[in-house]
Structure 1
Amino acid sequence: MLGCAHGGADKVTVEDRPLHGSDAHYATFRAPLNSPNSLVKLPVGSIKPEGWLKRWLELQRDGLCGQLGSISDWLDKEGNQWLGEGGNHGWEEVPYWLRGYSNMAYLLGDEKMMAETQTWIEAVIKGCREDGFMGPANAKENGRYEVWPQMIMLWILQDYYEYTGDKRVLSVMTNYFKFQLTQPDDKFLQDYWENSRGGDNMWSVIWLYNRTGDKELLPLIEQIHRNTANWAQHDNFPNWHGVNIAQGIREPATYWLYNGDPALLEASYRDQELIRERFGQVPGGMYGADENCREGYVDPRQGTETCAMVEQMASDEIMMLITGDPAWADNCEDVAFNTLPAAYTEDFRALRYFVAPNMPISDAANHYPSIQNEGPFLCMNPFSSRCCQHNHGFGWPYYAEHLVTATNDGGLATLLYCASQATALVGKGKGHTVTLTQETRYPFEETVTIKIGTGGRNVRFPLYLRVPAWADEAVVTLDDTDQTFAAAGKYIRVERTWKDGDIVNLYLPMKVNVRTWQANKNSVSVDYGPLTLSLKIAEKYVERDGRELSQGDSHWQKNADPSRWPTYEIFPDSPWNFALVTDNNGFPADLKLKRKPWPADDFPFAQQSVPLEFSAVGERIPSWGYDETGYVQVLPDADAPRLSPEPITLIPMGAARLRITAFPPAE
């Protein structure tokens, strides 16, 4: 026990999953859906990010995602398929972009952005056909429609409803799903993208059922699964496209909610394991798929699409809600902190298609076949990478919206630690409104301070504190009393009668950990808590005109100014071909942490302002350079000659646009 409080003793326990109950206060999985240990997403707008995450969203608003409407020809309103009949562009790109843009508007309370969002929402709602069909009718042979972009727009409508309560959304979605119920199997989800990603359509059906209880919708769950690619094969995937896999992981578990077969839930876990076993023996939470996974291309130089990163994070977030398993939060943080930040320039005005753990060059050359796609896929270009250019923006807003969730036993769970304020109903019966304020600079610092606001009442409810899998111990301080828990990969559940102004401190001691990647020549990576470390490489930026370096399907508006939206190639301006010297225990030799001042601009994912640096020792490998395509070679063999040891600097991977993260070892 941790002391005593008004209204009863504190109950502090360690739990594998949130406890079951019937006091969620928010739309949760209705019977007959399975939900023994689920978490409950708070409505959009319940969580206000602060600190570095708010700054991230502001940069994104002022950068490519927020200003893409003035660059991308696909978002031009004239002749846009989402704004009226007879349009000729914007089919996939508008919803890809609007999902991130609209949620940024809600999180930042930006009235101008919300007005722009409303323009598109009104067109979708008012443009529905009498038979219920929604959006552009991309007609195919035999009278069928390809509805992949509608799947994205459904998520946008859900977020809009959660923020505004506009009941027209429920009617639009109900009518659309009843239209889908009329479609025979041979006309439903037959094209490649919609067939691969049907689980996203299913998630929206479940979202709507949870709010309306309309049981006529339930057969559509079965219909969608029956016509979606099989993501429950245990040791294979229906296709090996990187983004499809990131989305497909969530499909079996989504169907499990309705079907109840434990093998389906296990299949989502197995999908997560399989892709990492075969193509993800690398740091950073992702896997090599430079467009598709390819046999023999497993080295840490193989990149993954920016689209795949944000979709993987979405899968992690959905799986957190379905299962309550903290392991999905661990992976979400891994991608968010270590891989996704390097997809963008530090001002968020350009992005690149691929990011790899080992990437000491980011140029505009064609690196095929070292990279599967032919063309300039590595430079930071706001004019190119059509899918990622539009889809990248929802990763961080969705992350912010899953920092805290409700639990079915009337409590709250802190899943992703970040400075923020969440407002939510808790407790028994009709519940009471409380605020939960996180003060922290996690993942760059080890302490999270949580302040409870009850509006002057005493309110009893459980608070779940997620303990990351890397944290061997966690220290909870409440009422000036410390208690240490061995709860890695679990929750510390604190149930008490909270009074206004109560404070909980969570201390997560970060330690250095070394991972060895046996499948990749016993290369090693170094972690510090949730942060993986990369070699600090001096970065030389060369400005280019992105219009001259764009992929063939890129289109931009006539007035898009490349001087305002520059493209950059990034070249190394210091040696990068180092092995990492380790001691007899495999620990980096002479590793020392140097803490630097917190950046004045509140943005730590930049090489010049990252607040953590580590000194270490490396040995250069002269034979490790570039291959015949100009791309970094695969890791050298263990017997490759090395030069004398010399000092090197490691920084958090997310702050390194050029990086070596999986090092050849040297004793």
Structure 2
Amino acid sequence: MQKAFIVKITSGFNYYMSKINVRSGFLLLVISVLFITSCTSTGKEKTVKVEAMERPVKISAVKNITGFFGHRMDVNRKNYLETFPIDKYVDFIVKREHTDWNWTQAEQHGKWVESAYLSAIQSDDQALLAKAKDVLDRIIASQEESGYVGATARDFRSAERPVRGMDPYELYFVFHAFMTVYEETGNEEALNAAEKLAGYFLEYFGPGKQEFWPSDLRPPENIRHKLAGTSQFAGHSVHYSWEGTLLADPVTRLYELTGKQKYLDWSQWVVSNIDKWSGWDSFSRLDSVADGKLGVDELQPYVHSHTFHMNFMGFLRLYRITGDESLLRKVTGAWNDINERQMYITGGVSVAEHYEHDYVKPLSGNIVETCATMSWMQLTQMLLELTGDVKYADAIEKLMINHVFAAQAAEEGICRYHTPPNGTKPNGYFHGPDCCTASGHRIISLIPTFVYAENGKDFYINQYLASDYEGDAFKFRINTTYPETDKIELAIVSEDPVDKNLMLRIPSWCKTPEVKLNGNIIREVTSGTYLQLSQKWKKGDMVEIRFPMEEKWITRAHHSDYTMYYLPGGEHMYREVPTEIIPSAFMRGPVVYALDMFWNTQLDASADLNKDIRINTSVLPVPVQKQDDKMLGPVYETKGFLRGKEVKLVLTPFVNIGQWTRTDLPDPDRHSSAYTYGIWLNHM
């Protein structure tokens, strides 16, 4: 609109100048340029070439989330965010004496501020909001004149060494915290702090300045060279520069908010140098992944999942701004490869923090890192917004229903570093604070941003959570215990009629979806699409949705046993070992079940799931009453054998594994492996 307005003004101005017979074409040019410049906004504006198909609604409009997910979000807010000793970590930043390699202390303030603001705004928790603002004010007040606001000591930094190796990763989250606060509250100080921080990196990194080299090697010596150890500017050397280049994501977001060309130029410079810095042409070869000629794991010797996701989000922002289709193609190609080969049944990703070859996905150990869960979910949401492809919303649902809250301790709210499909507990939940404890509470705080979206008259229901939507005019309530039950009711509560296209996600896993509008059956409801219901919605209108869920045993595809080996830096890698024992898992619709010894009180707690228990997959489990009102159901009972003796086994949704305290038993030692659990079970 602005460009068209300027063209019309300029044309009229030139016509006017011709009428007064200006002899100097040069003078006319100068005056015209000055006039155009005066008409062109220099304020904060989004400069976007590719419009999103969907735009998430404001988090403040998503109210009263109830049921299992609402309860766990309350646990995250009340039991973790409100009690977390954030002042200790802000003190660490304010003192600014850090010179060690460790990054876990210095990433807490950014993640906590963003999480606390989002959770407080969504729940209208004024006490937490006030605390978050105080913390934010302290962080901003500590910002150096140069713009630096990390933990690294001033006397450690210089023009030749402006950052500590993990600074880019740590400050990535500070950038996003500042910008999220600005977007949600309009706090100009937060945006100014983000710009000052960007100024620090633009001052020291760029053409003719420092670069994000992962080692001391330079071309051609670094080409196809395997690295280990640490980098002065780009995190772990084994990440081959991607732990520095990830800053293209927040700096590009800053361009979207301000329209300042220098941020776009810098981000494009960063991305254009990934091939050179990595030594493996890792960026360019993403095209081969999109072509199906390479797996994403083959881009370089070690592909760190979380780091790659963060970079991919930067690529998508650049696509949105520039319209460069090759960027979208690279990211969707990688996403498709990961989705096909490296995603677990629960929607989780990452094997010992990285992507492996072929279908290598061990069942236990350091599997499904919470940091990778967070960035994978954000990346998937960004692809949904850009493309409107339901498959991305389906992937988010799978992850949210199964793995996000399985990583969270049901009472304490702390999140695990890794949450393997088959493992032990409570050992693994108590650690840190570290990267994953912070990422866990951040992704839970972000969940309301994944639920509803809009674009003009189109309003999208992407996730079915029991909640209220309170827009300016359009308002409704979703009543459901989904996915515990398969029924969802959407009741319009707007006072005045509102003309909207209601876009209902119909999940691809559901074979026989059913939808009624005010009691009338909607024909041709197709799985894996959006169902559009268009009318002037009035108070009392009701949409009834049912997603029947198939109950079935799943035999694990591409199953192997594994042996582990290590890279020089200690990173875990895997080799396949053939096995004739192929396990199975039980699913109900999108819900993945586990045999959790915590809920199987009738069994010997010392039983080893792999050695002692066999299940009978020739019969389907039958529903039984769930043991706890706070758990997600339904619960099933199935037949099996314990050391050859027939027994009844209780199967519960995997998401419930964060429970380990019972009123009838003393609490286990927090670092013990008191209970075993497993999705994948050996059968007769």
Question: TM-score scaled by structure 1?
Answer: 0.73
Distance 1:357 1:158, change over 3 A: same
Q: CA deviation at 1:251?
A: 4.3
Equivalence map 1:254-265=2 (5 Å):
254-265=317-328
Are 2:59 and 2:448, in contact at CA under 8 Å, matched by a contact in 1? no
Separation of aligned partners in 2, 1:576 and 1:140: 55
Deviations 1:28-64 (A, max 9, x none): 99555323x5211223322124213332222122323
Q: CA deviation at 1:210?
A: 3.9
**Residue of structure 2 in register with 1:148 after alignment:** 169
Which AA in structure 2 matches 1:380?
Y
Which AA in structure 1 matches 2:649?
I
Deviations 1:514-541 (A, max 9, x none): 4333211543322212211111323699
Deviations 1:260-284 (A, max 9, x none): 343432332332343455544x421
Separation of aligned partners in 2, 1:513 and 1:316: 27
Verify: 1:387 aligned to 2:420, yes or no.
no
Which AA in structure 1 matches 2:189?
R
Match of 2:444 among 396, 399, 414: 396
Q: CA deviation at 1:415?
A: 0.9
Distance 1:538 1:388, change over 3 A: same
Distance 1:540 1:590, change over 3 A: closer
2:677 match: secondary structure: coil
Verify: 1:411 aligned to 2:474, yes or no.
no
Separation of aligned partners in 1, 2:55 and 2:111: 25
Match of 2:480 among 424, 427, 440: 440
**Residue of structure 2 in register with 1:611 after alignment:** 633
Which AA in structure 1 matches 2:403?
T
Distance 1:416 1:534, change over 3 A: same
Worse-matched range after superposition: 646-655 or 572-581 = 572-581
Match of 1:40 among 41, 55, 80: 55
**Residue of structure 1 in register with 2:9 after alignment:** none
Are 1:476 and 1:505, in contact at CA under 8 Å, matched by a contact in 2? yes
Which AA in structure 1 matches 2:594?
S
**Residue of structure 2 in register with 1:582 after alignment:** 617
Q: CA deviation at 1:349?
A: 4.7
Are 2:552 and 2:620, in contact at CA under 8 Å, matched by a contact in 1? no
Distance 1:213 1:297, change over 3 A: closer
Match of 1:269 among 313, 319, 332: 332
Are 1:305 and 1:354, in contact at CA under 8 Å, matched by a contact in 2? yes
**Residue of structure 2 in register with 1:286 after alignment:** 348
Separation of aligned partners in 2, 1:598 and 1:497: 42
Verify: 1:335 aligned to 2:399, yes or no.
yes
Which AA in structure 2 matches 1:47?
V
Q: CA deviation at 1:654?
A: 0.7
Equivalence map 1:299-338=2 (5 Å):
299-302=362-365, 303-338=367-402
Q: CA deviation at 1:143?
A: 3.9
Q: Cα RMSD over matched residues?
A: 3.3
Are 2:45 and 2:259, in contact at CA under 8 Å, matched by a contact in 1? no
Match of 1:526 among 581, 586, 590: 586
Verify: 1:192 aligned to 2:234, yes or no.
yes
Equivalence map 1:136-175=2 (5 Å):
136=151, 139=157, 142-145=160-163, 146-175=167-196
Distance 1:458 1:659, change over 3 A: same
Distance 1:616 1:539, change over 3 A: closer
Are 1:464 and 1:492, in contact at CA under 8 Å, matched by a contact in 2? yes
Worse-matched range after superposition: 245-254 or 114-123 = 245-254
Worse-matched range after superposition: 271-280 or 474-483 = 271-280
Separation of aligned partners in 2, 1:215 and 1:351: 39
Compare relative contact order (CA 8 Å, sep 6+) and give the higher one, 1 or 2: 1
Q: CA deviation at 1:85?
A: 5.5
Are 1:99 and 1:394, in contact at CA under 8 Å, matched by a contact in 2? yes
Q: CA deviation at 1:69?
A: 0.7
Worse-matched range after superposition: 340-349 or 246-255 = 246-255
Which AA in structure 2 matches 1:379?
G
Distance 1:266 1:523, change over 3 A: farther
Distance 1:119 1:140, change over 3 A: same
% identical aligned pairs: 16
Equivalence map 1:65-84=2 (5 Å):
65-69=81-85, 75-78=88-91, 80-81=92-93, 83=94
Distance 1:386 1:482, change over 3 A: same
Verify: 1:120 aligned to 2:169, yes or no.
no
Are 2:492 and 2:537, in contact at CA under 8 Å, matched by a contact in 1? yes
Separation of aligned partners in 1, 2:481 and 2:184: 27
Which AA in structure 1 matches 2:486?
E
Q: CA deviation at 1:451?
A: 2.2
Which AA in structure 2 matches 1:306?
T
Are 2:476 and 2:492, in contact at CA under 8 Å, matched by a contact in 1? yes
Q: CA deviation at 1:389?
A: 2.7
Distance 1:225 1:501, change over 3 A: farther
Deviations 1:178-210 (A, max 9, x none): 554443255244433494256764443444444
Deviations 1:410-429 (A, max 9, x none): 3211111101122335xxxx
Q: Which runs of 5+ in 2 are unaligned?
A: 1-43, 214-232, 290-294, 561-581, 659-675
**Residue of structure 2 in register with 1:421 after alignment:** 468
Are 1:473 and 1:484, in contact at CA under 8 Å, matched by a contact in 2? no
Are 2:373 and 2:404, in contact at CA under 8 Å, matched by a contact in 1? yes
Are 1:241 and 1:289, in contact at CA under 8 Å, matched by a contact in 2? no
2:405 match: secondary structure: helix
1:68 match: secondary structure: coil
Verify: 1:659 aligned to 2:677, yes or no.
yes
Q: CA deviation at 1:617?
A: 2.6
